[in-house]
Amino acid sequence: MPIRVQNDLPAKEILEHENIFVMDENRAEHQEIRPISIGLLNLMPLKEATELDILRSLSNTPLQIDVTFITVSSHESKNTSANHLNRFYQTFSEIKDRRFDGLIITGAPIELHEFEDVDFWAEMCEIMEWTKTNVTSTLHLCWGAQAGLYYHYGINKITLPQKLFGVYKHRVLNRKVPLVRGFDDVFVMPHSRHTDVPIELIRADKRLTILAESRMAGAFLVTAEHGRQIFMMGHPEYDRLTLDKEYKRDLAKGLPIQIPYNYYPDDDPENKPLLTWRATANNIYCNWLNYYVYQVTPYNLYGAPDFSSNFKANDPDIVIL
């Protein structure tokens, strides 16, 4: 699948080196096709690394995707250059009159703060409200998932006694829901967070459906509004060495950090970590783009998409495992 990005985006060269088909603006303009329009609200401090992770995750379907990088204006980024932000990003105020097939809201390392204490929370609320009318399907990741569940459904996060850090087993609960088509019964996925949304509170809200959960890590994949809102608590986009870098960074800073669970062979940080979640991660993004974005989005991005043909919460064909 060609990913359509700006001609001089730094991640473009890395993706091409990985044999991922990246189409620049010049070539895309000569194709008679409407690409899928995806917005990426990037809240992570190291934005270039997150761009690469997300673009890599979007690269495994035959659809052409036009990615718009979005940033909040109510927070000053200290870890990404102003030049990069000015060249490749738009603020919410600059895109709020547009409509998108899909939107990805990333996590942010601010989970120990109360939502209302986050300096861009008011803007986040405006964005999440805007998604109800201007986005076909919104995918919330990690802190973004916790923020979405709090804003849309009033379910608050709790602080964990110890950081949830490592690669954890999960099981699929609703196999016939399109988002988890092709999944194995059990799969692994990285987590890295100090907070959690209690799974019993999610289960108690009949507007929400848990599609995958972990005995140790809690809810992983949750959907609502027939897929218009999707919440992922972990990090399927993580690269092989992301947890390794986090672990060694915190060690160097003298912070209390345990060895990532189920990550290093023999629990030895000198051993190269095994990449055990990439196939499932690719499946998640492919299913999201196909069943919740491409199959239901109006061609001209106007009009209300219909998700009911994909999945109904009371569909008798859905089997709860």
Report whether pLDDT(85) > 80: yes
Residue 156 has which token pair?
């608050």
Neighbouring residues of 20: CB distance < 8 A, sequence distance ≥ 6: 3, 55, 56, 59
pLDDT band at residue 321 using 50, 70 and 90 as cut-offs: very low
Residue 300 has which token pair?
């001209």
Give pLDDT, residue 57: 84
Report whether pLDDT(130) > 50: yes
Average pLDDT of the chain is 85
Q: Among the options 48, 213, 237, 246, which is catalytic?
A: 237
Q: Among the options 170, 226, 235, 246, which is catalytic?
A: 235
**In the predicted model, what is the mean pLDDT of residues 302-319?**
43
What is the sign, positive or negative, of the torsion defined by CA atoms of 92, 234, 78, 245? negative
Residue of higher predicted confidence among 294 and 173? 173
- Of the ranges 60-69, 227-236, 252-261, which one carries the lowest mean pLDDT score? 60-69
Pairing type for strands 65-71 and 36-41 reads parallel
DSSP one-letter string for 78-116: SSS-HHHHHHHEEEHHHHTTS-EEEEEE---S-TTS-GG
Report whether pLDDT(177) > 60: yes
Give pLDDT, residue 56: 85
Q: Among the options 48, 51, 111, 142, which is catalytic?
A: 142
Tens digit of pLDDT for each residue in 25-47? 555 454 455 688 999 999 998 88
Q: Is 142 a catalytic residue?
A: yes
Give pLDDT, residue 209: 96
What is the pTM assigned to this prediction? Answer: 0.84
Report whether pLDDT(318) > 50: no
**In the predicted model, what is the mean pLDDT of residues 40-64?**
86
CA 296/CA 305 separation, integer angstroms: 6
pLDDT band at residue 280 using 50, 70 and 90 as cut-offs: very high
Q: Is 235 a catalytic residue?
A: yes
